[in-house]
């Protein structure tokens, strides 16, 4: 406050806060997106958590932070290469704020429309307690990463002495690597802009977080390649896992385009974000070689974990059994299965729900590859799908499976 650096100082603060904020979200996001493959049931819960009011507020803040950080990053990149324009710094900083506001107004309106749609449909919602509790492992993980780095740093200090650390950063070699990182931050920033804006447009504006779990809704960015569950470009079961599976399985000329897209974003943002974290942490640990070294380790550990966990998920394949587990998890959590308007309930959803609700053994992955076998009396009973309402009940007395009593009748198996 006493520095009185005018708008330049505030741009610096905002850039730093927005970078750290996006990084915090990024860590949570990569770990829980990997669950779509590793723990499908848990992924369903994670997305349900995103769909609660606390995270909805966070989502608006996240989009604001990404947009500001991107525009301000572009300002830094352009002006770094054009010292003759430095006299326009102040004007440029105002332009960044103006453009951020101009972008956010329509984007927020569109996002808000998705939010209203969702809450008006009166969906089942996880409680705040569950939401807060779910974040504890992330906090513990982050603290653990810091503890491990401090231990590592102390050990290194013990063996090589602390003066060595100071010499490295001050040496010519150090400044050469810093020059590399300086360029990396700028080039990666430029590459991240279209990737992250494209990703957010798909996940917020076109579909929105709330549309990830709508049964019968077409999945953004993919076309049907077959009529199998995970190839018809439709989220038949209304599970978030099927949404991700449709995207990651989508091939264009045998190339899984969205996996490459996500991988590029993953690598660029992990290294950029964690190198940014290193800048921030080392700024405040200048005078303590041990903490300074620990800051570097925590950044390396963090970036590496992101790439291994996120990359590991991208290499695997989400199959029918993962979708089935996700659906079971939704039913267990008592989450409503919302259906796209005017869309007939898919045979998969119908059949699986009957099985799950009928308390039968999970028929995971067997004979469920295409819609063809759905004619068979899978579970036989006409224990109509509305039973799910009872199962998932009580939270708000809402019809869990279907708001529209016609839905099950439309599916044509004479339930009623
Ligand atoms: C959207 C495109 C992005 C652009 C154009 C961009 C640009 C930049 C630039 C130019 C810097 C300053 C680097 C320096 O001081 O040498 C920076 C710093 C930083 N960025 Fe980004 N970035 C972007 C996305 C991200 C993302 C996705 C994250 C998080 C995962 C992130 C986290 C950070 C952090 C933590 C810093 C350090 C802030 C500081 O030193 O005060 N950035 N960014
Ligand atoms: C609330 C906002 C966001 C939502 C709802 C969202 C949603 C998703 C979804 C559904 C996936 C699964 C794969 C896919 O469909 O492509 C995904 C993957 C991914 N997202 Fe986001 N995203 C958001 C924000 C971001 C941001 C801001 C970044 C970058 C800073 C990001 C980076 C990634 C990456 C790298 C992957 C691949 C993950 C992996 O390798 O496991 N996302 N996101």
Q: Is the CB of 241 under 6 A from ligand 2?
A: no
For 180-184, what is the mean pLDDT?
96
b/e sequence 399-412, b meaning 16+ C-beta within 10 Å: bbbbeeeebbeebe
Q: Is the pLDDT of residue 377 over 90?
A: no
pLDDT at residue 169, rounded to an integer: 52
Average pLDDT, the chain: 83
Contact between 266 and 256 under an 8 Å Cβ cutoff? The reply is no
CA 243 / ligand 1 centre spacing (Å): 29
Q: Give the list of residues 6+ apart from residue 100 with CB closer than 8 angstroms, or none.
A: 64, 67, 68, 71
Q: Does pTM surpass 0.75?
A: yes
Residues framing ligand 1 (Cβ under 6 A):
15-16, 19-20, 22-23, 26, 66, 69-70, 73-74, 76-77, 182, 185-186, 189, 192-193, 196, 269, 272-273, 276-277, 279-280
Backbone angles phi, psi at 234, to 5 degrees: -125, 140
Q: In this predicted model, what pLDDT tens digit does every residue of 218-257 receive, in sequence order?
A: 999 999 988 888 989 999 999 999 999 999 999 999 899 9
CA 192 / ligand 1 centre spacing (Å): 10
Contact between 301 and 25 under an 8 Å Cβ cutoff? The reply is no
Q: Is the pLDDT of residue 104 over 90?
A: yes
> Which residue is closest in CA terms to ligand 1's atom 10?
73
Which numbered ligand comes closest to the C-alpha of 219? 2
pLDDT at residue 208, rounded to an integer: 79
CA 413 / ligand 1 centre spacing (Å): 55
Could you give the CA distance from residue 83 to residue 314 in angstroms, rounded to a whole number? 41
Q: In this predicted model, what pLDDT tens digit does every residue of 302-311 receive, in sequence order?
A: 999 999 999 9
Which numbered ligand comes closest to the C-alpha of 178? 1
Which numbered ligand comes closest to the C-alpha of 32? 2
CA 143 / ligand 1 centre spacing (Å): 23
For 31, 44, 64, 142, 403, the CA distances from 28, given in Å and listed in that order, are 5, 15, 18, 10, 33
pLDDT at residue 11, rounded to an integer: 93
Contact between 339 and 345 under an 8 Å Cβ cutoff? The reply is yes
CA 352 / ligand 1 centre spacing (Å): 45
Name the token pair of 253: 């000329």
Could you give the CA distance from residue 212 to residue 21 in angstroms, rounded to a whole number? 24
CA atoms within 13 A on the CB side of 304: 7
Could you give the CA distance from residue 197 to residue 103 in angstroms, rounded to a whole number? 11
Q: Where are the domains of the chain?
A: 6-315
For 26, 225, 314, 323, the CA distances from 233, given in Å and listed in that order, are 27, 8, 19, 14
3-class secondary-structure state, position 379: coil
CATH architecture of the domain with range 6-315: Up-down Bundle (1.20)
351 pLDDT tier (thresholds 50, 70, 90): confident
């Amino acid at each position: 406050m006493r520095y009185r650096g005018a708008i330049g100082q505030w741009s610096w603060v905002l850039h730093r806060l927005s970078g750290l904020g996006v990084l915090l979200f990024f860590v949570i996001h990569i770990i829980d997106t990997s669950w779509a493959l590793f723990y499908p049931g848990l992924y369903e819960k994670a997305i349900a958590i995103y769909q609660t009011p606390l995270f909805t507020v966070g989502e608006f803040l996240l989009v604001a932070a990404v947009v500001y950080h991107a525009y301000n990053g572009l300002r830094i990149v352009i002006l770094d290469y054009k010292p003759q324009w430095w006299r326009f710094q102040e004007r440029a900083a105002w332009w960044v704020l103006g453009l951020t506001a101009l972008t956010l107004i329509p984007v927020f309106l569109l996002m808000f429309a998705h939010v209203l749609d969702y809450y008006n449909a009166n969906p089942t919602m996880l409680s705040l307690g569950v939401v807060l509790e779910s974040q504890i492992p992330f906090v513990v993980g982050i603290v653990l990463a810091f503890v491990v780095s401090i231990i590592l740093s102390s050990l290194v200090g013990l063996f090589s002495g602390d003066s060595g650390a100071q010499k490295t950063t001050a040496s010519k070699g150090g400044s050469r690597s810093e020059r590399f990182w300086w360029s990396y931050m700028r080039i990666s920033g430029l590459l991240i802009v279209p990737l992250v804006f494209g990703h957010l447009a798909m996940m917020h504006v076109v579909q929105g977080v709330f549309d990830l779990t709508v049964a019968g809704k077409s999945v953004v960015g993919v076309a049907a390649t077959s009529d199998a569950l995970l190839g018809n470009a439709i989220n038949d079961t209304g599970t978030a896992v099927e949404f991700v599976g449709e995207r990651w399985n989508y091939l264009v000329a045998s190339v899984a385009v969205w996996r490459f897209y996500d991988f590029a974003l993953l690598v660029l943002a992990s290294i950029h974000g964690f190198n940014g974290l290193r800048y921030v942490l080392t700024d405040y640990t200048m005078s303590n070689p041990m903490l300074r070294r620990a800051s570097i380790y925590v950044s390396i550990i963090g970036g590496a974990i992101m790439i291994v966990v996120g990359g590991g998920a991208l290499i695997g394949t989400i199959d029918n059994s993962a979708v089935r587990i996700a659906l079971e998890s939704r039913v267990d959590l008592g989450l409503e299965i919302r259906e796209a308007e005017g869309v007939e309930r898919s045979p998969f959803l119908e059949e699986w729900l009957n099985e799950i609700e009928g308390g039968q053994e999970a028929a995971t992955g067997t004979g469920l590859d295409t819609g063809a076998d759905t004619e068979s009396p899978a579970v036989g009973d006409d224990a109509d799908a509305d039973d799910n309402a009872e199962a998932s009940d009580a939270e708000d007395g809402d019809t869990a499976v279907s708001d529209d009593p016609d839905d099950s009748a439309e599916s044509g198996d004479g339930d009623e």
